[in-house]
Amino acid sequence: DAGVTQSPTHLIKTRGQHVTLRCSPISGHKSVSWYQQVLGQGPQFIFQYYEKEERGRGNFPDRFSARQFPNYSSELNVNALLLGDSALYLCASSSTALNTEAFFGQGTRLTVV
Amino acid sequence: DQQVKQNSPSLSVQEGRISILNCDYTNSMFDYFLWYKKYPAEGPTFLISISSIKDKNEDGRFTVFLNKSAKHLSLHIVPSQPGDSAVYFCAASYGNKLVFGAGTILRVKS
């Protein structure tokens, strides 16, 4: 049974560009959350989507947006990239909107140059 | 505002001994606590969780203890194995999100 899959695994972008990251949750899971992890810190919450609706948003600027599709996969979009957006972006999947068990993908390493 | 703190950046333990990883939190509204293990270039792997209404949960070599009055939880790994060497994150659930600590690097020496 496939776990949480994210694509791409690595990405290099230039300042000012935009990026789209993708996530497929575990089969049967309806909740997808996005986290940003910078070196030396724990993951920081960006968004949660459940049943295709945004259920929560962290303290990130409006340049960050996301959506969830009918098959529960999700995209995270970041516009006008800054050097500080360089990080590991993690997607977490859970069966409910509550985070009693959340399973993470391997992440997308984004480097902004 | 760090609501979840892991005050030990690293821990070194001999193989076969107990590893104890600690976590403190400030928000009494957290309702679930989770521990994750992370290897380099991989996503966090879920290990074990505990509801705020319990004080202990055990799964194989992993036991999590919760002391609500002290706002403290700990993860015990017994016996520790070299493959346990990784970064361990404590996370607390509040509504739709998990709040993570900064992690503790565990090194298990053989």
| pLDDT at position B1 over 80 | no
Is the Cβ pair A43, B32 closer than 8 Å?
Answer: no
The pLDDT tens digits for B72-94 are 999 999 999 999 999 999 999 98
Q: How much is the average pLDDT of B17-42? A: 94
Do the Cβ atoms of B98 and A55 come within 8 Å?
no
* Inter-chain contacts counted by CB atoms under 8 A, chains A and B: 69
The percent of residues above 70 in pLDDT, for chain A, comes to 99
Question: How far does B48 lie from chain A, in Å, by closest CA?
Answer: 8
Cβ atoms of B88 and B104 within 8 Å: the answer is: yes
List of chain A residues whose C-beta atoms are within 8 Å of the C-beta of residue B42 = 106-107
Q: Which residues of A touch B32 (CB under 8 A)?
A: 98-100
Q: How far is B22 from chain A (nearest CA, A)?
A: 15
CB A73 within 8 A of CB A22: yes
Q: How many other C-beta atoms can be found within 10 angstroms of the C-beta atom of residue B24?
A: 18
Q: Which of A80-94, B11-25, B89-103 has the lowest mean pLDDT?
A: B89-103
% chain A with pLDDT above 90:
89
Residues 6+ apart with CB under 8 A from B70: none
Per-residue buried b or exposed e for B71-96, using 16+ beta carbons within 10 Å of the residue's own CB: bebbbbbeebeeebbbbbbbbbbbeb
Cα B64 to Cα B58: distance, rounded to the nearest angstrom: 6
Q: Is the pLDDT of residue B2 over 80?
A: no
* pLDDT value of residue A1: 59
- Put simply, the answer to whether B49 touches A100 (Cβ < 8 Å) is yes
